[in-house]
Structure 1
């Protein structure tokens, strides 16, 4: 009787299904690396980082790669111990308890929503300029472009994850080819600039701007941490997730080191910082045009557009799966936990993310907010959310394995030393983010106060909500993080 009743209810018929996919190591790596939008990073964020670090930019990327590989040690060990697709939400729950876990889940969901919302505005500004200046087309209002990309990524996120993985793989390959071509030509033509120096140096603690450089650099790596949230949609997750995590961090780190060095090889070590200061926005495009030609620069503009689309799709897939996990546990409305019968995707959660972005676009356009003001605030505030989240995860991993050592001995490096190092490092970068928050979001003092207060209120709200569930809905509280603690 009960089974027949549930089968007759659309929600019940889909809530019991699990997400499914067939991603291998390569597809998973590409799916999470697309989050970082490598071409957009090299063309947009890297010149900003070079404003603060100059010829030390490659060294900063080397340090960040090493530190995040250390973070990955405890992260991967945790993924093998906590076999849940809840990502950071499950990890924090296992290490620090259900109340902290739910606070972390709220940080994750809203953080990824905010980071992803940089894309519609940035895509709109980039495509608007490309259509008007390069193609000499009509001047279409930015919000139509923004709504178009939101519709496109929402459709792809609605479908089976394998389709998104194929789209993201193609986009990533194109991005990488473009940047590698720039790097090769930069190094090949640097012979005449030896007098200006083509080598890079490692940063020092006393370097002015080091804090902001580290802050911008870590945001360029985000996305690799989402490997665990696709657990149910990859082949052989116990093997695929660890390998994909290490490959993602090492691959993107090496890619950034060489790209930053390519800038220095072309500009000259002693002139790179000043060049980045005077031409931050156009540094990559102008350098590419001078090195390879105007046609190549136009191709870069075109692929920058597809790069932003790929990044937005990757982020939407991640945000949708956090929403799905929370709904599956009963912390969000059950409807968000529905699985598409054919695509086996979290289609309602994916549609909800797209709807929230579209609604924000409409509201901001109606208020007359410039798209140039949207994407730095969205990206910066979202980055702070995820950075704070990663610090809490490092603490959770350390606590979890310290507690387990009472019952069984495990490798000290994987369970104590590496998590402790990453916790100290991420704690220091989080402090830098708090101290330099206005520069991170490019906003006024009032905007800084509002968004920083909102971030901590999110975490506290999740903690208080978990307390409410423990008192009023203990059956839901028992499911949080899908951990029996």
Structure 2
């Protein structure tokens, strides 16, 4: 292995899109997120929350993606916040990304272990270990190999969900396709805060694209892939949520979703297409979650690589493969990510934690909150970056107006999420355990600031390089040509 760097200019925009949508895990959104939202919030207008959240996240993505073209880096939150507010803030952003992307990835071990154990029997811990090994091996491969795996699984998964949507509209409860689930008046419901909070988790993954900004063929690929991913997820998840409500009946969907014996959505697959497709859908839930775990694994490994390359983490984390299918892959960061997942999930196992109610629910909720904070900070940072003269080819709309709207809207949704953690975590509204996740986010930021402050107090020269990466002459030339529309 070497510290030479990631493989440059090898990944297409389509490959980035695959990792974004794959990280979102569409089958898990249908079988887990949408069903859970109906069950816990009773918001019949749940389908509308997806395009609304997609628009919000689109605002947050504008400054993020624009800055990633000017500052391509495998650890975007770390690099972009460093260029906006200084190296100490950059380290705080890097800490947020590492902790909360890891939280989301690790939460999925509970979901997949429980799902496989329910289907095939045995301990959820054993099945989670099998998946861990698969992700660890695939994470050591070049991104093009990983993209092939992600794409193959995702294609079948989306096809099966599309069959579900078609059947849902073709077999509406009561014989009529109701528009109640897509009526805006349905958003004025007591549970809307929880629906928004749960919906945010369905989109996590769209934001991973800038982590591949050093590997894509053109700097424009990141923006195009992100826009395409957000549009696709907004419409696809809205359609699937609507199809589920229509199939069960808008007036019955909350109660049915909350009944474990109803077996949504797999019981509907069984009714419409027979046990064969129902089994395939269950298997696809497993592969979908595995693909999502691989996508987050790749993102975390690239953060570790980039931060180690600049000297704020041990240098051996910047090692990359030199031959075969591992050439250019961030092997040092990949190994550490696998080891940390094993240790953290192992602690939950030793504590006897329930795989769904604790491992999956708590870690995924924490991950969604932490990443949303990170995106709001980056949008604020983009405004400052461009006001200080960063970048040269973006207009006022991109540099100020849309990022400012994103900050306001993102902060509002974040407040709603925190105020409705009881519905996310299924705990009493007055439980002090609601403070754990906000405290974890604040604590991570504080640790990052302390980390940077200590380096600054020691006069560490590495702070001068935070977020700068290693310049690639070909990428610099490509960016200049595109700015000139050559």
Superposition TM-score, scaled by structure 1 size = 0.89
How far apart in 1 are the matches of 2:78 and 2:185? Answer: 34
8 Å Cα contact 1:58/1:200 also seen in 2: yes
Q: Does 1:397 align with 2:382?
A: yes
Q: Does 1:37 align with 2:22?
A: no
8 Å Cα contact 1:36/1:221 also seen in 2: yes
8 Å Cα contact 1:36/1:222 also seen in 2: yes
Equivalent residue for 2:464, pick from 478, 481, 485: 478
Q: Does 1:89 align with 2:75?
A: no
**Matched residue SS, 1:233:** coil
Q: Does 1:376 align with 2:356?
A: no
**Matched residue SS, 1:226:** helix
**Matched residue SS, 1:369:** coil
CA shift in 2, pair 1:428/1:199, >3 Å: closer
8 Å Cα contact 1:69/1:246 also seen in 2: yes
The alpha-carbon deviation at position 50 of structure 1 amounts to 2.4
The alpha-carbon deviation at position 90 of structure 1 amounts to 1.4
1:272 match: 253
Moved more, 453-462 or 264-273: 264-273
**Matched residue SS, 1:232:** coil
8 Å Cα contact 2:88/2:448 also seen in 1: yes
The alpha-carbon deviation at position 21 of structure 1 amounts to 6.3
1:135 match: none
Q: How does 1:169-188 map to 2 (within 5 A)?
A: 169-188=151-170
Equivalent residue for 2:400, pick from 416, 436, 439: 416
CA shift in 2, pair 1:415/1:355, >3 Å: same
Q: Does 1:467 align with 2:448?
A: no
The alpha-carbon deviation at position 42 of structure 1 amounts to 0.7
- Post-superposition CA distance 1:98-146 (Å, at most 9, x none): 11111111011010111001122211111111113xxxxxxx2221211
Moved more, 170-179 or 360-369: 360-369
How far apart in 2 are the matches of 1:285 and 1:473? Answer: 59
Equivalent residue for 1:25, pick from 13, 17, 22: 13
CA shift in 2, pair 1:24/1:318, >3 Å: same
Q: Does 1:144 align with 2:130?
A: no
How far apart in 1 are the matches of 2:352 and 2:107? Answer: 17
CA shift in 2, pair 1:167/1:473, >3 Å: farther
- Post-superposition CA distance 1:134-162 (Å, at most 9, x none): xxxxxx22212111111110110111111
The alpha-carbon deviation at position 265 of structure 1 amounts to 2.1
1:314 match: 295
2:48 match: 59
8 Å Cα contact 2:9/2:215 also seen in 1: yes
Equivalent residue for 2:192, pick from 193, 201, 210: 210
The alpha-carbon deviation at position 327 of structure 1 amounts to 1.0
How far apart in 1 are the matches of 2:44 and 2:257? Answer: 11
- Post-superposition CA distance 1:343-368 (Å, at most 9, x none): 21111111111111112333332333
1:283 match: 264
How far apart in 1 are the matches of 2:293 and 2:433? Answer: 24
CA shift in 2, pair 1:420/1:127, >3 Å: same
- Equivalent pairs counted in the alignment come to 463
How far apart in 2 are the matches of 1:383 and 1:432? Answer: 13
How far apart in 2 are the matches of 1:66 and 1:232? Answer: 27
Superposition TM-score, scaled by structure 2 size = 0.89
Equivalent residue for 1:299, pick from 267, 275, 280: 280
- Post-superposition CA distance 1:392-425 (Å, at most 9, x none): 11111122223339x9795221111110111111
Equivalent residue for 1:243, pick from 224, 232, 249: 224
**Matched residue SS, 1:158:** coil
1:137 match: none
The alpha-carbon deviation at position 88 of structure 1 amounts to 1.6
> Aligned-residue CA RMSD in angstroms?
2.3
The alpha-carbon deviation at position 275 of structure 1 amounts to 2.8
The alpha-carbon deviation at position 189 of structure 1 amounts to 1.7
How far apart in 2 are the matches of 1:307 and 1:203? Answer: 34
